[in-house]
Amino acid sequence: MTFLPFTRPTIDEETIAAVGDVLRSGWITSGPKVKEFEAKLSEYCGGRPVRAFNSGTATMEVALRLAGIGPGDEVITTPLTWVASAGVILAVGGRPVLVDIDPVTRNIDLDLIEAAVTKKTKAILPVDLAGLPVDRDKLYAIATRHKLRVIEDAAQAFGSHWQGKRIGMLGDFVSFSFHANKNITTGEGGALVLPADIDPALAERLRFQGVTRHPDGGMDVDVLGGKFNLTDIAATIGLGQLKQLEAFTRRRCELALRYFENFDKLAITDLLLPLRDFRNSNWHMYQVLLPTAVDRGAFIAAMKARGIGIGVHYPALHLFSLFRHQGFKEGDFPQAERVGGQTVTLPLFPAMVEADVDRVSCTVADVLKSAA
């Protein structure tokens, strides 16, 4: 039986041919295709300035620097995310302050944020887990009351909406990822949507070693930047993917709905399903929580033996050694620890067909029955 991975990018032949054209052009690093990609992203985000980077991690690090976050500053974020969300705070010298999650949305619990605010707090870095947006109205009301910047980790939320508006059209800094497992990909890459008070030229210098080039061939370096630029090869893939975003998102919603319908029929009462949000979520991932009595490692192995790949997104990051060294410990965030310990990501990508979802659903039921 053919192995079904938990995700796989869909790259059409037109995009593959366009990449060949770029390779033949001789201009393969940052150039005209990056500019074109940024223009299309800006159009998608309602005309806001957007700059492309070589990863979503880089966009968040640069956003923190643009927001003035540095040594001693505190940034509030969630423990249930990819390690980069908190790692970039450490990278700029700041201190990640973690707040537990809402067990329903599995996003940061906004009701707990204000209790974590101190005189050192400078920003909030929320994460849209699996493409389900954090409540933007509530988030920005908190940020406004406490005069905090917001760096939206919308790595998984490209194509998601809040109250009818695309994520990226409103807000402060918005960071997207175009990693290979995201809803659209550039292979590796990301983009940063900039607020009105930030000079896009400074973001450009920070992504390319602080360099400003002059028309006469001279240059200057006035800030310490990194090497975060996107290539024209990657941007060309992104341009092809953007054309398919609407179709990709629609297909993900159809597949997610079929999962819900299947699990409703199968009536696995102790399998906790994600929040059924078909208005805002882009269905980047379909995550379920296993029953507490089921060993996750054994479940993943059993599914793999039947030809189905399973992901884990994510273990609670405060339990990693790096963050234990920051003073965090087991028991600090019980909801994140529970969800992080029981979550599995089922296959979901646009090239799947209904029979794939049916196969996964029935196999999940069989494996859980065998484990009972």
Catalytic residues: 182
User: What is the longest distance spanned by two Cα atoms in the chain?
Assistant: 74
The answer to whether 101 and 122 have CB atoms below 8 angstroms apart is: no
Phi, psi of 73 (to 5 degrees): -80, 145
Q: How many CB atoms lie within 10 A of CB 141?
A: 12
The DSSP element (H or E) to which 343 belongs, if any, is strand 343-346
Torsion angle in degrees (nearest 10) through CA of 354, 315, 127, 310? -10
Number of H helices, E strands in the chain: 12, 13
Per DSSP bridges, beta strands 190-193 and 211-213 are unpaired
Residue matched to tokens 């490692």: 297
Q: At what angle do helices 200-207 and 56-66 cross, to 10 degrees?
A: 130
CA distance 188 to 167: 20
Q: Comparing C-alpha atoms, which of 167, 161, 194 is closest to residue 49?
A: 194
- CA 263 to chain centroid: 26
- Does residue 314 have a cis bond before it (omega within 30 degrees)? yes
